[in-house]
Amino acid sequence: MRTTHDENGVRAGPFGAGGRRDFLRVAGLGGLALALPSLLQGCSDTTAPPVDIGLDAEAQLHRYLNIPPTPVTIDLSTDIGIANYAYALEQLEAQFYFFANEFGRQALSAEENLVIRDIRGHEQVHSDFLKALLGAAAIPMLKTDFSTVDFSSRAEVLGTAQVFEDLGVAAYNGAGQLLESPQYLLIAGKIVSVEARHAAAIRDLLQPNSRFFAGDVVIDANGLDRAFDPATVLAAAAPFIVNPITVVGG
Amino acid sequence: MENLTIFDTIDEDLARTVSRRRALSEGSSKLAMGAMMLSAPLALAAMARSAFAQGIPQQITDVLNFALTLEYLEAEFYVTGVGTSGLIPADKIDVFDQIRKHEVAHVAFLKSVLGAAAVAKPQFDFTAGNGSGSGPYAGVFSDYNIFVAVAQAFEDTGVRAYKGQATNLMSNDAILTAALQIHSVEARHASMVRRCRGKKGWITRAITDIPGAQIVYAGEANTVQAGIDVTKVTVVGKGGGGRAVTLDAVTEAFDEPLTMEQVLRIVDPFIV
């Protein structure tokens, strides 16, 4: 389910070419938060300059690096389970945009960075809100793996964002009919249109002022967006999630 | 009580337009389905078959006719705009032609689902003059800036309108899903039209720079979702990097619904 870099890999990870994350992985030092600043210095001889991500981001990075890949069960026969499915997707997006916002900056234009920054905020809000909504029933934090994404590449950052946004829209569209609670359906509706706004914006960055923002691959001849069932969505998301996920009740 | 007041201001003809075909809807099922089977894709035909086999409840017919009325409005708006030479800059034509295509498709789709129960297309006045042709947006088809501002208001209204009706469609999975699939397309449109105006694709608080459109954004500054004060469960700060988000982001992260009455009040000036 995950792709691991070999030690000679020059593919830039979230933390720059041969960057911090790979360094941490190779050195087995992922758990040493206090060592991070000095490790950053240790990477300074790589092709990409080290990125100063600030103390708040360092703390968040530390959090993400230390998430245990706990097995997760999602029960699609209940609204709680559907909400956890949404929470999983929002966690995935929030973490992706955290990396994109911290480590993709040099690849993106000023305007593109503002879009990524805004979306990063929205996905964090969605994730935090769903966690609060679910309370004790919430699945744990997911451990993500974006090692296949080259965050120094504009095309890969925006292309991956497009995939996640289109997928998120299709996921919520497909999940609506599974919900029993009108309150949960309304919440899903409040979130999905924001995901669709993201999708259009990211697509407009990739192919400006074209039909691509709502292109014919995602919008059919009836003018309908895609709607995917959870199995399809989770299969597409699986390469980015380390935790084993068991789906029941589907 | 506030809703009653709002409802009282709605053009009674419009309210009738939306529900007028009530009496026709039940007896026409077989006819509608017959028409569907001739031309529609299989999935749609299957959906119509299941919908009509069950008999669409009146509540759903009313919602679909409400949606159809909005789609008529949008479709005619973009057909006219795209067809008006010199209105839309060359570099934006593809964007608006794509939107036109979708809105026309939505009209056809909803009419095919409703069959004989579909309401007729009203006459529109895109200046928002109730038929006078000299409303506040009098330059709508001669001044691109006005055209795209009205487009934004229509799209953001459309998103809120579908959202507000989703729970009324829960008794029919196929129709609910189709409505959600239209809803997200409207949201893509809204984002793109906003970007054409140099705006963010999302709605920040209840802010708008469009004269007369405050009503479209009423309630969008909400930060309480499902009874949870979202500002208390996320880290609100300066945003930018790291973990914290801005208060603006909390409002942007959720689009809010509008009731049918609120939407009808918004579109009333555009209907003759």
Closest CA to B180 of A203, A92, A80, A195: A195
pLDDT at B55 over 80: no
DSSP, collapsed to helix, strand or coil, labels residue A145 as coil
Tell me: pLDDT of A17 over 70.
Answer: no
- Of A225, A103, A213, A104, give the one whose Cα is nearest residue A167: A225
Residues of A in contact with B181 (CB under 8 A): 173, 224-227
Looking at residue B26, what DSSP letter applies?
T
CB contact under 8 A, A125 and B195: no
Q: Report the residue of chain B nearest A116, measured CA to CA.
A: B240
Give the model's confidence band at B7: pLDDT under 50 very low, under 70 low, under 90 confident, else very high: very low
Phi, psi (rounded to 5 degrees) for B124: -115, 155
Contact B201 A201 (CB under 8 A): yes
pLDDT > 50? residue B42:
no
What would the pLDDT profile of B62-81 be if each residue is shown by its tens digit? 999 999 999 999 999 999 99
Q: Phi and psi of B112, rounded to 5°? A: -70, -35
- Classify B105 in phi/psi space as left (phi over 0), alpha (psi -120 to 50) or beta: alpha
* Segment 180-209 of chain B within 8 Å of chain A by CB: 180-192, 195-196, 200-202
User: Which of A54, A129, A224 comes nearest B233 by C-beta?
Assistant: A129
What is the dihedral sign for C-alpha A119, A78, B175, B222? negative
A249 phi, psi to nearest 5 deg = 75, 10
Burial B12-41 (b: 16+ CB within 10 A, else e): eebeebbeebeeebeebbeebbebbeeebe
Q: A45 to chain B nearest CA, in Å? A: 25
pLDDT at B238: 87
Distance between CA atoms of residues A120 and A122, nearest Å:
6
What are the beta bridge partners of residue A105?
none
Please check the confidence at residue B257 and state whether its pLDDT lies above 70.
yes
Cross-chain residue pair B234–A177, CB shorter than 8 Å: no
Q: Are A1 and A7 in contact (CB under 8 A)?
A: no
Q: Which of residues 146-165 of B touch A (CB under 8 A)?
A: 159, 162-163
Spatial neighbors of A219 by CB under 8 A, at least 6 apart, are: A225, B102, B185, B188
pLDDT band at A54; cut points 50, 70, 90: confident
Which chain B residue has its CA at the smallest distance from A203's CA?
Answer: B192
pTM of the model: 0.84
User: Would you tell me the crossing angle of helices A110-134 and A154-175 to the nearest 10 degrees?
Assistant: 30
Neighbours of A91 (CB within 10 A): 26
